[in-house]
């Protein structure tokens, strides 16, 4: 009997034994990252991993302002055609290569020229870059571009070891070497990415973790179960229905922040035959549709109040939000009147949307709301890859999709609504909007830019190529032993100052 008890105790002790928690952090991600090469990658979770792995020229603070990182200060020339950046001294890459102006030149050149690079459009305004001192680089631009510095706060500004990048070429992602607080240890596809503390990090005082493991766990319930059972210290993108239960759980804490992106419906205005409907041709019909939507109710019903209602490409919390155009209340009578003015009593509308439960529910609520104003909506739930190609090809009337957002306002507008915009799927074209957005892009004066965006916003709010519905929030759930984490609007997980209490 004693022996049995002993064995049983030993067995249960073994079963419950977890890996030693000494400053090792385990983070649950929603998906698996794609290739770990900042020039080639495209996933959101990939950027989360880079926040530990690869430092950037500049970073963002809690208000999405740009702050120094590997570049200590920068200035545009008066004509806006040159950007001079001074670099931080004493930084080394994980392989020991020193960080200097030549390294920055090599990195930006790689981003602009590597065949597989996905950063080319972000750096399209850069004509050339040169080292104008051992610790100074100068970007020469083809046209003034105020958004360039903000582009450098993300993957385009991530610095890889030039030695490693040259050696590995397009295979850099198999063993990425950067200069961030943690260096790459191993990756098993769809299972984990492991980083460990980089001893020679320039800002080592702020790094308290020895090891970080990122685990992709797509199922939200399982991700949360792992956090509850202590297998994980932190998870990203907590599902809205779980917020209540996490806030009641004494062992867990939450951090949330309004993201930089938006949720919207794109309307086909000129992309092929399917734009030839009253919805595509008459702005009054689009305005009626927009008026019939109760945006705050959408937020309450679908997101349990965790998202933000919105009507612009910038969230109401953003400094770029046009306060003259507040988020409107629902106005069914007004919508009916506008439709009547356009000579329509009831009309059919088809909306395609991604086939996940949250978006589907959201669109069903919209369907019910606009029905009262006279729109008979057919919903077409579409698998995501298909939705994208239909939207690009113009095979849609209305298409519901999200934009993850960019720190510079240009990234939320220019490419979507200018006549030649790269992802202008509605094929909207208004020379006045083009003029204003180009002006905003060319100026480095925040007030001039704000005025231009406000003016463009007024026009877009009448033409409505895009109906904005609201803004996502990023919700993180953490074990209460994790301290020092702060959620920023870009949804990244910065590990500076994060500690795990014993």
Cross-strand partners of 140: 82, 128
Rg for the chain (alpha carbons), in Å?
Answer: 25
What is the SS3 assignment for 322-373?
CCCCCCCCCCHHHHHHHHHHCCCCCEEEEEEEECCHHHHHHHHHHHHHHHCC
Q: Is 16 in the site for another protein (CB under 8 A)?
A: yes
Residue 88 CB, nearest approach to another protein (Å)? 28
Q: What is the spatial distance between Cα 406 and Cα 210, in angstroms, rounded to a whole number?
A: 31
- Show the CA angle centred on residue 286, arms to residues 282 and 291, nearest 5°: 140
Residue 42 CB, nearest approach to another protein (Å)? 4
Instruction: Output the six-digit token pair for 37.
Output: 């090469």
Instruction: Name which of 151, 126, 152, 154 is nearest 139 in CA terms.
Output: 126
Among 61, 102, 116, 376, which residue sits at the site for another protein (rule: CB under 8 A)? 116
Which of 124, 132 has the CB closer to another protein?
A: 124
In 443-493, alpha helices (H): 446-463
Which of 134, 169 has the CB closer to another protein?
A: 169
Which of 227, 339 has the CB closer to another protein?
A: 227
Residue 463 CB, nearest approach to another protein (Å)? 22
Among 142, 247, 378, 392, which residue sits at the site for another protein (rule: CB under 8 A)? 392
Looking at residues 215 to 254 of the shown chain, list those that interact with another protein (rule: CB under 8 A): 215-219, 221-222, 225-226, 228-231
Which of 365, 388 has the CB closer to another protein?
A: 388
**CA dihedral of residues 417, 420, 421, 422 (deg, nearest 10):** 150
Instruction: Name which of 494, 455, 452 is nearest 476 in CA terms.
Output: 494
Which of 35, 212 has the CB closer to another protein?
A: 35
How many Cα atoms sit within 13 Å of 58 on the Cβ side? 22
Q: What is the spatial distance between Cα 269 and Cα 465, in angstroms, rounded to a whole number?
A: 7
- Show the CA angle centred on residue 154, arms to residues 148 and 160, nearest 5°: 105
Residue 474 CB, nearest approach to another protein (Å)? 16
Instruction: Output the six-digit token pair for 218.
Output: 């797509």
Q: Is 403 in the site for another protein (CB under 8 A)?
A: yes
Among 25, 27, 30, 35, which residue sits at the site for another protein (rule: CB under 8 A)? 35
Segment interacting with another protein, rule: CB under 8 A, options 58-66, 265-273, 383-391, 445-453:
383-391
Helix (H) or strand (E) holding 256: strand 252-258
Which of 17, 329 has the CB closer to another protein?
A: 17
In the block, residue with structure tokens 């989360």: 48
Among 5, 13, 15, 329, which residue sits at the site for another protein (rule: CB under 8 A)? 15
DSSP-based three-state secondary structure for 383: coil
How many Cα atoms sit within 13 Å of 221 on the Cβ side? 0
Cβ burial of 432 (10 Å; 0-12, 13-18, 19+) is exposed
Q: What is the spatial distance between Cα 34 and Cα 453, in angstroms, rounded to a whole number?
A: 34
Residue 476 CB, nearest approach to another protein (Å)? 18
Which of 332, 423 has the CB closer to another protein?
A: 423
Segment interacting with another protein, rule: CB under 8 A, options 31-39, 60-68, 434-442, 452-460:
31-39
Contact 167, 151 (CB under 8 A): no
Q: Is 384 in the site for another protein (CB under 8 A)?
A: yes
Segment interacting with another protein, rule: CB under 8 A, options 27-35, 326-334, 468-476, 483-491:
27-35
Q: Is 501 in the site for another protein (CB under 8 A)?
A: no
Which of 35, 137 has the CB closer to another protein?
A: 35
Looking at residues 412 to 431 of the shown chain, list those that interact with another protein (rule: CB under 8 A): 415, 422-423
Which of 56, 284 has the CB closer to another protein?
A: 56
Contact 302, 358 (CB under 8 A): yes
Which of 189, 323 has the CB closer to another protein?
A: 189
Among 113, 142, 386, 446, which residue sits at the site for another protein (rule: CB under 8 A)? 386
Q: Is 390 in the site for another protein (CB under 8 A)?
A: yes
Binding mask 36-75 for another protein (x = CB under 8 A): -x--x-xx--------------------------------
Which of 33, 344 has the CB closer to another protein?
A: 33
Among 78, 191, 205, 447, which residue sits at the site for another protein (rule: CB under 8 A)? 191
Contact 36, 176 (CB under 8 A): yes
Q: How many residues bind another protein (CB under 8 A)?
A: 53
Binding mask 169-188 for another protein (x = CB under 8 A): -xx-xx-------------x
Segment interacting with another protein, rule: CB under 8 A, options 68-76, 141-149, 209-217, 438-446:
209-217
Give the orientation angle of helix 446-463 with respect to helix 431-442, to 10 degrees. Answer: 160
Rounded to whole angstroms, what are the CA distances from 216 to 45, 236, 407, 413, 475? Answer: 9, 10, 26, 31, 16
Instruction: Name which of 461, 292, 279 is nearest 365 in CA terms.
Output: 292
The secondary structure of residue 136, as a DSSP letter, is E
Interaction site with another protein (CB under 8 A):
12, 14-16, 18, 32, 34-35, 37, 40, 42-43, 115-116, 118, 120-122, 170-171, 173-174, 188-192, 215-219, 221-222, 225-226, 228-231, 383-386, 388-390, 392, 403-404, 415, 422-423
């Amino acid at each position: 009997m004693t022996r049995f008890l002993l064995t049983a105790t030993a067995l249960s002790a073994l079963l419950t034994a977890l890996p030693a928690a000494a400053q090792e952090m385990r983070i649950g991600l929603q998906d698996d990252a794609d290739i770990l090469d900042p020039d080639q990658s495209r996933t959101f979770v990939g950027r989360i991993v880079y926040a530990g792995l690869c430092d950037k020229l500049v970073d963002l603070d809690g208000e999405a302002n740009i702050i120094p990182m590997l570049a200590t200060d920068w200035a545009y020339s008066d004509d806006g055609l040159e950007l001079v950046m001074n670099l931080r001294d004493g930084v080394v890459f994980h392989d020991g290569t020193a960080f200097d102006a030549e390294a920055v030149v090599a990195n930006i050149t790689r981003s602009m020229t590597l065949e597989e690079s996905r950063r080319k459009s972000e750096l399209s305004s850069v004509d050339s870059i040169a080292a104008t001192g051992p610790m100074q680089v100068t970007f020469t631009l083809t046209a003034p571009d105020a958004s360039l510095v903000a582009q450098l706060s993300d993957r385009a500004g991530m610095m890889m070891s030039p030695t490693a990048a040259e050696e590995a070429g397009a295979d850099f992602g198999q063993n990425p070497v950067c200069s961030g607080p943690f260096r790459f240890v191993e990756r098993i596809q769809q299972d984990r990415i492991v980083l460990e503390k980089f001893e020679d990090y320039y800002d080592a005082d702020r790094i308290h973790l020895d090891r970080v493991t990122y685990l992709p766990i797509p199922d939200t319930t399982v991700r949360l179960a792992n956090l509850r059972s202590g297998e994980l210290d932190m998870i990203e993108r907590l599902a809205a229905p779980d917020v209540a239960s996490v806030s009641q759980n004494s062992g867990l804490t939450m951090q949330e922040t309004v993201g930089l992106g938006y949720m919207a419906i794109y309307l086909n205005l000129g992309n092929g035959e399917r734009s030839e409907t009253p919805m595509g041709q008459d702005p009054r019909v689009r305005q009626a549709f927009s008026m019939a939507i109760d945006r705050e109710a959408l937020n309450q019903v679908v997101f349990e109040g965790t998202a933000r209602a919105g009507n612009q490409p910038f969230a109401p919390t953003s400094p770029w939000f046009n306060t003259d155009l507040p988020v409107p209340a629902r106005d069914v009578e007004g919508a009916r009147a506008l439709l009547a003015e356009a000579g329509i009593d009831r009309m059919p509308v088809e909306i395609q949307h991604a086939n996940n439960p949250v978006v589907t529910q959201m669109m069903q609520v919209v369907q019910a709301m606009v029905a009262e104003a006279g729109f008979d909506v057919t919903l077409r739930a579409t698998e995501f890859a298909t939705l994208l190609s239909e939207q690009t090809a113009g095979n849609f009337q209305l298409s519901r999709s999200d934009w993850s957002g960019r720190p510079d306002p240009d990234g939320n507008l220019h490419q979507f609504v200018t006549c030649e915009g790269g992802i202008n799927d509605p094929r909207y074209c208004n020379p006045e909007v083009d003029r204003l957005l180009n002006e905003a892009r060319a100026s480095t004066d925040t007030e001039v830019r704000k005025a231009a965006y406000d003016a463009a916003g007024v026009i877009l709010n009448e033409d409505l190529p895009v109906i904005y519905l609201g803004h996502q929030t990023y919700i993180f759930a953490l074990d209460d032993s994790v301290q020092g984490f702060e959620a920023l609007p870009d949804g990244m997980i910065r590990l500076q100052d994060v500690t795990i209490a014993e």
